[in-house]
Structure 1
Amino acid sequence: MIYTLTLNPAIDYYIDMNKFEEGELNKVNNAYTLPGGKGINVSKVLKNFDVESMALGFYGGFTGNYIKTHLKDYGIKDGFIELEEDTRINIKLKTNNSESEISGKSPNISNKNIEELFKLVKNIKENDILVLSGSIPNSVRNSIYREIIDLLKNKNIKVILDSRDEAFKEAIKSGVFLSKPNKNELKEYFNKEINSFEDIIFYSKKLIEEGSQNLIVSMGKEGSALIAKDAVYKGNAPEGKLISSVGAGDSMVAGIVYGISKGLNIEDSYKYAIASGSATACSEGLTSFETMNKFLEKVKIEKI
């Protein structure tokens, strides 16, 4: 079974307008809402690929009920724990010139809620896959991902980590199968300038020494890199009309999890990661399996 964990989900309110003028009345061309959260996005893409997963996390209030209903309608198994406070609302604003985001205030998560989560995590079985995605709410200690990994130490479980800041640093210490920093997050982690592909390889190998068996580093238009213990691959960014980058990174995670769940090696799974991320960036919402397959034909990987 594949599990995704979203500690800090949200309702994402997408707004599309020609331009935004501060202090003025702004007219919206289009607007819609979707349940957000990196782990939820991974589960949704996997469902689009006809792969089952269970989504874990926290939600609460009327916004939480919206997420609960959406997951049910989408056919995703729900292991979320209910909170007293409302799940946050994020605003994602797209204009002709830029994309901006306002992150909402997270609900409080108590120690009792955390213990409930730990009980669920302990049920994860040998050879399962666990995706730890996204930010940590202010009420939760930064060591939470590391603690979860430590709970599963004696089981052969592939942990995929897609986070940043202190939560990422803590989790790496306990070892993960794969992490997915982008170029800027790699720079933040080491507090060093990263100006070349050689720099990316150098610092990625340092992360391998610290506990990440494999890394995918996304580099935007320059493509991405897969760094393993004894091999380095550079992947292209397949051509397509960019619609929105929202969810592209989560789709990369879903793509590589899809490959791994089908028994593919890390290199072949990486192809699905590239295709999935690119397909979502060129789609209205998260990619379908059919769209991903079209991009798969354009994927090119070079062993360095």
Structure 2
Amino acid sequence: MIYTCTLNPSIDYIMNVDAFEAGALNRARETFYYPGGKGINVSRVMGRLGVKTKALGYIGGFTGAYVQQFLDREAVDHAFIETSQTTRVNVKLKSDMETEINGPGAEISKPLQEELLEQVRNLSTSDTLVLAGSLPSSLPSDFYITMAAICAENGAKVVADTSGKALEQLLGHPLFLLKPNHHELGELFNVEIDTKELAAHYGKRLIDQGVEHVIVSMGGKGAVYVGREHEMFANVPRGHVKNSVGAGDSVVSGFLAALENEESIQEAFRYGVASGSATAFQDDLCQKEDVERLLTEIHVSNIN
């Protein structure tokens, strides 16, 4: 079973405004409400791709109830831990430019922390845990490390899609998949990464530190896969980018879903890139037919 963990979920409230003017009354042309959080995105996309997951994390209040009801409608299994606080709302204003206002995360008490860690202790060698997104400020900064260490003890695989200090701390721990973008990878090594060759070089350094698979997304320039035996590059198809939120999560989803269906690493990489691109071209996350429509436009080649 694949489990996703979203420690700081949200409702993403998306507002499309034709010409936003600060300090004035603005009227939205259309609005959307979606459950937010990188782990939740992974569960939603994998469900659409035909792979069952279970979403873990913290949820609370009427907004948390909305998130759970939304996932229920999409047949996404979940075992969230209830908090006494309302799940945050993130506002994403789309006009000439895109502006985001993220609400504060919940305060997670010690007993609630232990409850989630107990869920992780119940995982086994047949399970994969996807650690995705930011940490609420109330959690210890090494909380992901604690979870990864438990997985190392019980043999569960760990996938990490996070950034900053949380990403840096996870290096050196056994990781099945790491998916930084080229900016995040560059920050790890204090370099600028602007070519596929550089992405492959520094991705290889992550492999040397115990990561099994690395996918580096490079926006419109494509994506790079690095493993113990392969270094590959994939282009991204042409299209109008509507949604940068969730594209990286969809890459993870597509890659894992293809591996669950026993596809080769090359095909899993291609399917991941197609999934990320399909989400980028939608207002919401991709559907399976969107992904499969793009597959013929994505070409994977060896680097060097």
Tell whether the structures are fold-level matches, with TM greater than 0.5: yes
Match of 2:163 in 1: 164
Residues 1-304 of structure 1 correspond to what in structure 2 (within 5 A)?
A: 1-95=1-95, 97-304=96-303
- Comparing 119-128 and 162-171, the one that deviates more: 119-128
Task: Extract structure 1 runs of 4+ deviating beyond 3 A.
Answer: none
Identity %: 39
Structure 1 distance, partners of 2:301, 2:206, is 21
Amino acid at match of 2:100: E
CA RMSD of the aligned region, Å?
Answer: 1.3
* Contact 1:233 1:303 (8 Å CA) reproduced: yes
Amino acid at match of 1:33: Y
* Contact 2:151 2:158 (8 Å CA) reproduced: no
Amino acid at match of 1:99: E
- 1:121-147 CA distance string (max 9 Å, x none): 112122222111101110111211111
For these two proteins, the number of residue pairs brought into alignment is: 303
Question: How many angstroms does 1:265 deviate by?
Answer: 2.9
Amino acid at match of 2:235: N
Structure 1 distance, partners of 2:192, 2:47, is 38
Question: How many angstroms does 1:160 deviate by?
Answer: 1.2
Amino acid at match of 2:93: L
Question: How many angstroms does 1:41 deviate by?
Answer: 0.7
SS at match of 1:245: coil
* Contact 1:146 1:172 (8 Å CA) reproduced: no
* Contact 1:59 1:81 (8 Å CA) reproduced: yes
Structure 2 distance, partners of 1:24, 1:150, is 51
Amino acid at match of 1:144: F
Amino acid at match of 2:35: P
- Comparing 204-213 and 112-121, the one that deviates more: 204-213
Structure 1 distance, partners of 2:174, 2:252, is 17
SS at match of 2:193: coil
Question: How many angstroms does 1:264 deviate by?
Answer: 2.2
5+ residue gaps, structure 2 = none
Q: TM-score, normalised by structure 2?
A: 0.96
5+ residue gaps, structure 1 = none
Q: TM-score, normalised by structure 1?
A: 0.96
